[in-house]
Structure 1
Amino acid sequence: MLSELAADRARIEDLDAEIRALERSLSILRNEKAQVQERLDSYKYPVLSLPNEIVAEIFVYFLPTYPLRPPLIGADSPTLLTHVCHKWRDIAVATPELWRALLFNHHTFPDIDLQLELCRLWLTRSQSYPLSMEFSKLLDIPSLSPLIVDALAPHRARMVHLSVYVADLPKLVEGPLPMLSELELTINKTSDLEFRTTLPEAPLLRSVTLNGFVESYPVTLPLVQLTSLTVSPAYRREYVTILREAPNLVHCTLGVCNDIDSQLDRIELLSLESLSLFACGTNTIGCLDDFITPALRSLRLPETFLYPGSIESLSAFISKCDRLQQVDVTGPRTIPKASYRQAFRSIQFFFEEDSSSDAES
């Protein structure tokens, strides 16, 4: 019995010795850790040493180029920048350029309450900066329109770029748009044509894009003040009617549909400098004959618009364009590149390569 007690006392002494040794080792490790942590704490990451103004500029370049609109959340959203560290959050929140372009899409972002909350937040953070805004079909959720209108009302005067479905336009903009310069309208279905409205006063509006069925377009627009117009798709009789009311265009893009009307008066656009045509159907022969554009500098179109005689048709058109400098031929070709360049030596030609084309390169 006494021998067992002596053995236990000896074991206790051994354990105490081991504990003291381990505590000394632990103390050494803790001291080393403190030294390493001190070095880390004193280290300044280069990006965090940049002036706030430079960081803010980098943040702006992180986003899609204005007036393109980033998503409210996700990898391409300025919201992501607020989740990295406190300093970045403070800089991002204080940089109104990051919040001036807004995309509201309840189809890709089904949490309407959160999306509406973020919209209000972005509008506040954008301060007095001009706004670029895009809205999906708000009529799909009738209760949503009044909430959006209330959120937008204090900021309507700052709208510069606006993309919206036609049916939502009267609900979103109830009053003048003094800074609006670019408008994109989309018709989603035939029922959108059942009402008519006039765009509120927009004295600076210069660029309009019309997407969808454009015959008897339900929105009255100040076409005479436009310098840029995109219409797609459009039958010839439709775009001829529209373009007659837009004599000051400098840039025009048309998606041309099949049309049985061949006898149409020509459109005289004396200021037009660039014309881009693409096919939304198969019967586009003769469309180029619709235009009288003496100031034209750039032309873009598929070769099919020049049939049946591509060189001859283009020659007849170019004879009326003293300033034409560049022609872009898109899609499949039957005429070799060299034939175009030889026929029109003073004009620079570019060709969209197409694997289905058997014309020589």
Structure 2
Amino acid sequence: MRDIETETFILEKSIHALEKNLSEKRRSLRALRSEHALTQDRLDANTYPVLTLPNEIISDIFVHVLPVYPLCPQLSGPLSPNFLTQICRKWRQIALHTPTLWRAIPLYCMPKATFEQHISIIECWLSRSGNCPLSSHMADDADMPSEVPTEDFLVAILPHCARWEHVRLVIDSDQLSSIEGPCRHFWWGQPSISVAISVALQLRTATLWDFRYPPHLLPWSQLASLTLVVKKPEECAHALRQSINLVYCEVILLGDDDDSQPDFEIKLDRLETLIMVRWLISEAGVTGFLETFVVPSLRFLQIPDEFMTPDPIAALKTVILKSGCKLLEVLITGPRSLSKVSYRQAFPSIPKFSFNAVKVDFEDKKYGWAARSDSNSSDVESSSE
């Protein structure tokens, strides 16, 4: 009997201790919960500064992350607009609803991706770009796998040709028959193509390489900038004569010695910059081509000395007097038949005369970039010497 009473006493005492401990734990739990709630409230009240920006500002920042339009970004990786959709939910929605992020579309095959996947990505970007003008550049033949059916690229982008603004296609001539669309810049890398793109109502800049001349190939009269890569001067003369509103003109001759010149004048009233380049330096020169130009607004002239043989000073004076232009800068390239002093004494009214004896790298001319040299660079002999 005594043992039962003793055990009961001990158990009651243990229960009392446990209840006391449980009560303390409950108070501690309530305190922890209260502290947790306060901390959560403080956390909820905090926001990242970038997330407080208006969506329009974030969208504009996104656009500046990518290469400057019309350059095309990568289809994947940190320089792709796809990367911006992977940061957070809010940024994904902003990126997907910013059409200008998706308006420059590269046409090439990504590593580790099938051609079908690539076409699917292009179509997705085209859809996301909304009604924005488009820039689309195809890779060179050397960079495009031979098994890639490039006509599939056309199938993807042709439905959007009304939005073409800057387009570079490297395709066979028989694939061009269906190309119609408003463009501002069109790069043409295939020889002997004679399909008309005269419907390109927004075209302002063109680069043509070794082309046949049909009168209605391009809307010549609306061009402001034209680069022609040809074998002979006579091959580009008709195109230049129709391009009456040119402000910038560049002619690159690829062929060997040739004395055939156009038998008519090339009158370009608005032309301010005229650049002539000879890929193959020749002793025979290109006689009489410069003298066919009538350019009253010309301000900058870059020309090889060999283009003005046999008398460079007489050739240059003929153009200046006939055109009535006031040249501000002349750059004579390649080997010279006359001294620098002879040029400067003959044309004291031209403020800047520069001389560059280095052969121009043809690869730098491929896309119509100017070959103007800085007169302070080491390979240029300037009039300030």
- TM above 0.5, one fold? yes
Contact 2:84–2:92 (Cα < 8 Å) also in 1: yes
Q: How does 1:128-207 map to 2 (within 5 A)?
A: 128-136=131-139, 137=141, 140-141=146-147, 143-145=149-151, 147-167=152-172, 171=175, 174=178, 176-177=180-181, 179-187=182-190, 193=192, 196-199=194-197, 201-207=199-205
Partner of 1:318: 320
SS at match of 1:344: coil
- In structure 1, how many angstroms separate the alpha carbons of the residues matched to 2:350 and 2:214? 44
Partner of 1:79: 82
Q: Structure 1 residues 200, 332: CA separation in 2 closer, same or farther (over 3 Å shift)?
A: closer
| Residue of 378, 381, 384 corresponding to 1:355 | 378
| Residue of 324, 344, 349 corresponding to 2:348 | 344
| Residue of 294, 297, 302 corresponding to 1:295 | 297
Is the counterpart of residue 114 in structure 1 residue 117 in structure 2? yes
Contact 1:247–1:271 (Cα < 8 Å) also in 2: yes
Partner of 2:251: 254
Contact 2:269–2:294 (Cα < 8 Å) also in 1: no
Structure 1 position 102, deviation (Å): 1.0
- In structure 2, how many angstroms separate the alpha carbons of the residues matched to 1:345 and 1:39? 75
- In structure 2, how many angstroms separate the alpha carbons of the residues matched to 1:80 and 1:341? 60
- In structure 2, how many angstroms separate the alpha carbons of the residues matched to 1:119 and 1:84? 22
Structure 1 position 231, deviation (Å): 1.1
Q: How does 1:4-153 map to 2 (within 5 A)?
A: 42-106=45-109, 111-136=114-139, 137=141, 140-141=146-147, 143-145=149-151, 147-153=152-158
Q: Select between 340-349 and 119-128 the one with higher mean Cα deviation.
A: 340-349
Structure 1 position 238, deviation (Å): 1.5
Provide, for residues 116-163 of structure 1, a one-character-per-residue CA deviation record: whole Å limited to 9, x for no partner. 111011100001111111223589446452x43442243222112211
SS at match of 1:88: helix
- In structure 1, how many angstroms separate the alpha carbons of the residues matched to 2:121 and 2:149? 18
Query: What is the percentage of aligned positions where both structures have the same residue?
Result: 30
Structure 1 position 42, deviation (Å): 4.2
Q: Select between 157-166 and 116-125 the one with higher mean Cα deviation.
A: 157-166
Provide, for residues 7-55 of structure 1, a one-character-per-residue CA deviation record: whole Å limited to 9, x for no partner. xxxxxxxxxxxxxxxxxxxx99999999888766644333222111111
SS at match of 1:198: coil
Contact 1:205–1:225 (Cα < 8 Å) also in 2: no
Contact 2:249–2:275 (Cα < 8 Å) also in 1: yes
- In structure 2, how many angstroms separate the alpha carbons of the residues matched to 1:181 and 1:352? 29
Structure 1: which 5+ runs fail to align? Answer: 1-26
SS at match of 1:329: strand
Contact 1:248–1:271 (Cα < 8 Å) also in 2: yes
- In structure 1, how many angstroms separate the alpha carbons of the residues matched to 2:318 and 2:87? 61
The code of the aligned residue for 2:246 comes to L
Contact 1:252–1:272 (Cα < 8 Å) also in 2: no
Partner of 2:8: none
Structure 2: which 5+ runs fail to align? Answer: 1-28, 355-372
- In structure 1, how many angstroms separate the alpha carbons of the residues matched to 2:122 and 2:56? 25
Provide, for residues 220-275 of structure 1, a one-character-per-residue CA deviation record: whole Å limited to 9, x for no partner. 51354342311124422212243234344332111123443324224322334121
Provide, for residues 301-343 of structure 1, a one-character-per-residue CA deviation record: whole Å limited to 9, x for no partner. 3455456665554333322333434325265686559964983
Q: Structure 1 residues 114, 262: CA separation in 2 closer, same or farther (over 3 Å shift)?
A: same
SS at match of 1:133: strand
Q: Structure 1 residues 295, 106: CA separation in 2 closer, same or farther (over 3 Å shift)?
A: same
The code of the aligned residue for 1:197 comes to V
Q: Structure 1 residues 300, 200: CA separation in 2 closer, same or farther (over 3 Å shift)?
A: closer
Partner of 2:221: 225
How many residue pairs get aligned? The number is 326
- In structure 2, how many angstroms separate the alpha carbons of the residues matched to 1:332 and 1:76? 40
Structure 1 position 67, deviation (Å): 2.0
- In structure 2, how many angstroms separate the alpha carbons of the residues matched to 1:154 and 1:358? 52
Contact 1:248–1:269 (Cα < 8 Å) also in 2: no
The code of the aligned residue for 1:60 comes to V
The code of the aligned residue for 1:352 comes to D
- In structure 1, how many angstroms separate the alpha carbons of the residues matched to 2:133 and 2:78? 24
Partner of 2:357: none
Contact 2:229–2:251 (Cα < 8 Å) also in 1: yes
Structure 1 position 68, deviation (Å): 2.1
Contact 2:96–2:128 (Cα < 8 Å) also in 1: yes
Structure 1 position 94, deviation (Å): 0.7
Contact 1:206–1:225 (Cα < 8 Å) also in 2: no
Q: Structure 1 residues 172, 291: CA separation in 2 closer, same or farther (over 3 Å shift)?
A: closer
Contact 2:230–2:253 (Cα < 8 Å) also in 1: yes
Query: Over the residues paired in the alignment, what is the CA RMSD in angstroms?
Result: 3.9
Q: Structure 1 residues 205, 144: CA separation in 2 closer, same or farther (over 3 Å shift)?
A: closer
Partner of 2:370: none
Partner of 1:279: 278
Contact 2:232–2:260 (Cα < 8 Å) also in 1: no
Partner of 2:207: 209
